[in-house]
């Protein structure tokens, strides 16, 4: 529940009407390193989805898979190559820039009791500046309706909120965030995981 990638998959599944059979792994106890789990996912990362014997990991790939396989329409991941390219760009931005900036700044403090790194904090601010620019005049992060990109970025931004990062300094992000919380299926479960 504390993992924003896991929470994004929970919201994505809700958005397409898939009921997940969730299994909680105790990472501190090494449950992701058992032979049984490594057989499913040799990279031993979470989330991992198993759908009728098909195993997939990396939350953004799982979001796309769920939307393509189970979406009643293509609204979450449209078939139009240009719309899809923009969604993919935002998914990669989330993975490589926005979420990565969270990991680089907060994880050393959480897991290694390291002091806060001001240079890493500047990268968070730069990532939010980019997201704020992407959202100029936009209700959604990649087009004119909710997509898997919104779901992934919502999970990340909510994690920043619970870590007490001041989102309100970024007017476009703040406006998008308030709307995304209202229109994204599974928001309540996402927020409960954040608070946990």
Strands (E), the chain: 48-51, 54-57
Answering whether pTM is above 0.85, one says: yes
CB 33 within 8 A of CB 44: yes
Q: Residue 136 gets which letter from DSSP?
A: T
Q: Class for domain 4-70, per CATH?
A: alpha beta
Q: Is 3 a catalytic residue?
A: yes
Q: How is the chain split into domains, by residue range? A: 4-70, 81-187
4-70 and 81-187 share one CATH topology? no
pLDDT, tens digit (0-9, with 9 covering 90-100), for 18-39: 999 999 999 989 999 999 999 9
pLDDT, tens digit (0-9, with 9 covering 90-100), for 107-119: 999 999 999 999 9
Question: What would the DSSP string read from start to end of 18-30?
Answer: PPP------TTTT
**Which residue of the set 3, 59, 101, 158 is catalytic?**
3
Low pLDDT (below 50) residues in the chain: none
According to CATH, what is the number of the domain 81-187? 1.20.1050.10
């Amino acid at each position: 529940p504390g993992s924003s990638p896991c929470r994004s998959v929970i919201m994505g599944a809700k958005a397409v009407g898939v009921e997940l059979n969730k299994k909680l792994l105790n990472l501190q106890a090494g449950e992701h390193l058992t032979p049984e789990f490594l057989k499913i996912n040799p990279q031993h990362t979470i989330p991992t989805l198993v759908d009728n014997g098909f195993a997939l990991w990396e939350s953004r790939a799982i979001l796309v898979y769920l939307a393509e396989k189970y979406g009643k329409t293509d609204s979450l991941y449209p078939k139009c190559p240009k719309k899809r390219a923009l969604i993919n760009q935002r998914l990669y931005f989330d993975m490589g820039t926005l979420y990565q900036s969270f990991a680089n700044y907060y994880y050393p403090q959480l897991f290694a009791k390291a002091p806060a790194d001001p240079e890493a904090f500047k990268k968070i601010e730069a990532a939010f500046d980019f997201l704020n620019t992407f959202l100029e005049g936009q209700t959604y992060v990649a087009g004119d309706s909710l997509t898997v990109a919104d779901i992934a970025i919502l999970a990340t931004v909510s994690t920043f909120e619970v870590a007490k990062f001041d989102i309100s300094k970024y007017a476009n992000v703040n406006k998008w965030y308030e709307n995304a919380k209202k229109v994204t299926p599974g928001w309540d479960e996402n927020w409960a995981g954040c608070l946990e």
